[in-house]
Structures are given as C-alpha cells and as structure tokens.
Structure 1
Amino acid sequence: MGDQQPVSTGERAGVELARALEEAARGLVERGADEDVEHTLQLIVRGAIHTIPHVEQAGVSLVERGGIVTARAPSNDVVRELDELQTQLGEGPCLDSIWYEQRTVIEDITQVRARWPRWAVEAERRGIGSLMAFQLFTDKGSAGALNLYASETGVFDEATTDTGSLFATQAALVLHGARRVHGMAGALASRDVIGQAKGILIERMGVGPERAFAILVESSQQTNIKLVDVATWLVGEAQKPGRRGGHGR
C-alpha cells in the first residue's frame, strides 16, 4: 500500500459541503410543501456558515416576480438589515452578483466606498470587514445571490472563494428543486379547488363539467380575479353553515 496523502483544507471543506447539501435535499423530501423553500434557504445559510472558512454570517437574496429582490433566511438582524438595504438603496454586492457578476469578493469594505457609497458606510457601521456574494444561477437565469459576511478584513483567499463558489452552485440546484416542489404542490392545490368549484356548479346549476369550467373562467374575466381565487371563494361560500352543499342543516 502506498502512503496516504494528507487531506487538504479544500477537500475537507468539500466533504462538509456535500454533507450540508445532502441535509438540505433530505429535508426537502421530508418536509411539507408549505415549508420546503424557507427550510431549504435556512439550511443553505447554516451550511454556508459551517462549511466555508471564515464566514461568520450569511443570507440569501432572491429575485421575486417583477425583478424585485428580497432578503431571505438571514442568520441575524445585521444580515437582514444589510441585505434589505441593498434593495432599498439600489446598490451592493448581492445586486452586482445577481445582475452583473457571478461572484463579488471584497477583501476590505473600506475599499468600496466609491463603488457603493451609501451601502458600504452602513456595512462598516455594522462591523463588516469583508464579504463575498455568489450568484445562485438556474436554467432560467439568476435566481438570487448567496451573501457571506466576516468581521475581519482580508480573510477570503482564493481557496475560500472557490469553496464559496462551489457551495453556491450546488445550493442553487437544491433551491431550484425546492421551488419546483413548492410550485407543483401549489398547482395541485389549485387544480383541486377548481375541481371542487366545478362540482358545486354542476350540482347547483345542472350543467356539465365543460360548462361549469366555462362559468368559472367567465366569472374570472368579468371580475378580473384569478380563476383559482374565484374557485376558492365559491367553495368557501358553499361550505358556510346553512348553504346548500355546505355543512349546515
């Protein structure tokens, strides 16, 4: 047998990274659809702090509908404030990573006062010395950014940055899976409530399934209310005590 090679810091980080993401994937399967995205975000943040060297605090910024960036799963109030400030001020590392760069690494926060004049001052005031932000990329484009913070300056070297980049790549895959599960669960729930509403109309109005669905669509268009919301309202009304088809006498 040959001599065993010592395990490098990067390899150890890779093992810890794999374990953290395995936990996130396992949690995604085990938890309900209503909790999966938020729970996954929390696991990603916790895993980043535990596996990426020198990272003390972390958070995720997600691109929501309309291109609005929201702060999610911050590890503490300082991270929440800094991540929210970036959206409010329109400047900061997570926005640059989301829209322009795959990674943003700042070794000394005092050196970026000209780049982000308002946000950098707030970050300094809250004790941030250095930071990294990595784009969470999916097949549909940028989904957000993973934001990593340290109180000391100059702690994020090339090896640490590579580990952070690897973590962000794998985290984006896990997050994409969580969002798909959540979306599928929502679609199934919508289909179920629309089916219930159709059944109510078939019973009350003596129409067929196709006509019942057409009535729901027409109501949605006339009121400018989403089809699933119209169906939800109708089912709720039918279930009120005293209503035919409800639970009353």
Structure 2
Amino acid sequence: MTPVVELSGVHWGPKRQADILHDLTFSVAAGEVLAICGANGAGKSSLLRLLYRHQAPRKGTVRLMGRDLWLMKAPEAARIVAAVLQEQPTDFALTTRQIVALGRLPHRKGFGPGTLDNAVVEAALRRMDLTAFADRPFGTLSGGERQRVMVARALAQEPQVIVLDEPTNHLDIRHQLELLALLRGLGLTVITTLHDLTLAADFADRVLVLHQGRIIADAPPSQALTEATIARAFNVTARVDRSGPAPRFSFQLHG
C-alpha cells in the first residue's frame, strides 16, 4: 500500500545557508499517528513546513499519496494536508465560524460557500465543542479556545493528513488529553511535534526523534524513547520508569 506521506533523502536549509535537515527518509501510513520529538533547534518545525508545502526540499523528495508534493498545485495539496501551527490568525475581528470557514477555501467552487461547505463548518464546530463560541470574535477567546478553533479549521479542510506544531502548548492538562484523544479518533494520518514525552509515549503509534536535523530514532514509543536516545537528543541524563501502566520520565543535567 502506498504511504500517505513519504520523504526520501530530504535535505533543507535557508537560502545561502547550511542545511538544517539532513537526509530525512521515512514514511507514514494511512491512519498512523506520528509524534516528532527533539530539543529546540533540532529541526521539528522545519520538517513540518516541508509536509504542508510551505518550503521545498533542497534535495530529495516529499510525496503525498505517492505523488511529488511540488508537482501538485497548492489547492490540491491543501485538500490532502491541513496544518495547525503555533502562529495564529492576526485578524481578531473575524468570528470563530469565519475562521473555521477558511478551511473550505481549497474546496471552493464559484464565489461563495455552498450548502456542503456550511454543513462541514458546522460539523467541525460541533466536533471541537465550539458551537457556543461560533459568533464570538476570535480575539476574545482564550489561548486554548483559539487552539481548538484552529483544529476545527483544519478539520473543515476534510484532509487525509493533519500536521500540528505543538498543539498542546496553550492547553491545560484536561484539554491536552481531550485534544489528543480526539485527534486519535479522527481516523486521519496525524503528524505532530510534541515536547511532552509522556504525551508522545501515550498518544503516538510511532515517535521520530530529531537531533541536529537528523533522525536518531523512528520506532514505537517504547523503542524510540529510551534513556540513551533521550540523553542524546536533549543533552540530559534521563531515567525511564516503565513499572506502571505508562512510562514516567525524569531528567537531570549532566554532572
């Protein structure tokens, strides 16, 4: 079966600067949940930007559904991949419903939204428990509520892949768990960066660990998040306690 997302020998770096990402090769199957972990500066966000067609690889190929992402037109790619980023809209005057409706733009035919578009938007609002906020200006919402709006906008794209950059950052513990459970239940391919290793271990089918722009682990959480790998990736001394139902991580500075 063709992977939904596939990277082959991918390198990337800013124009006229050295590579930040080096020789990335991995694939993600339909319905798989992949967490990308690593220290600040490891290249996690740069990797995500390759997946949602924000930046092209300097070398190598990114494929969606077996096709080169950069041979697709942008709207076609956006019907397959939706992104939820840490940067949020700056037009705070738009309502929650208007923000979510932006997710329909890749599907839009003609001048205005159709009946199907409106139905999809309302379903996304319900799924993210945002109906009560639908007519509220985006700027009046809390950080956690805004994050849920951005996920609802991505769902309105009806993608096959959803890419998220630290989606739990602005959420309290309950909403972190609720969001991750919802993402798991969508049946979509989910690729997300997560700095919380406990959440990554509990949520993901696979964990890809980046260190200085290279993959140093790509395996199920129990195999990827070992003491040795964590120590290398984060430059700390790590302990993993697997005696309970879920692993517990503890860290110390070297020395």
**TM range, smaller chain:** under 0.3
- TM-score normalised by structure 1 residue count: 0.26
Structure possessing the higher relative contact order (Cα contacts under 8 Å, 6 or more residues apart): 2
TM-score with structure 2 length normalisation?
Answer: 0.26
Instruction: Choose 1 or 2 for highest CA Rg.
Output: 1
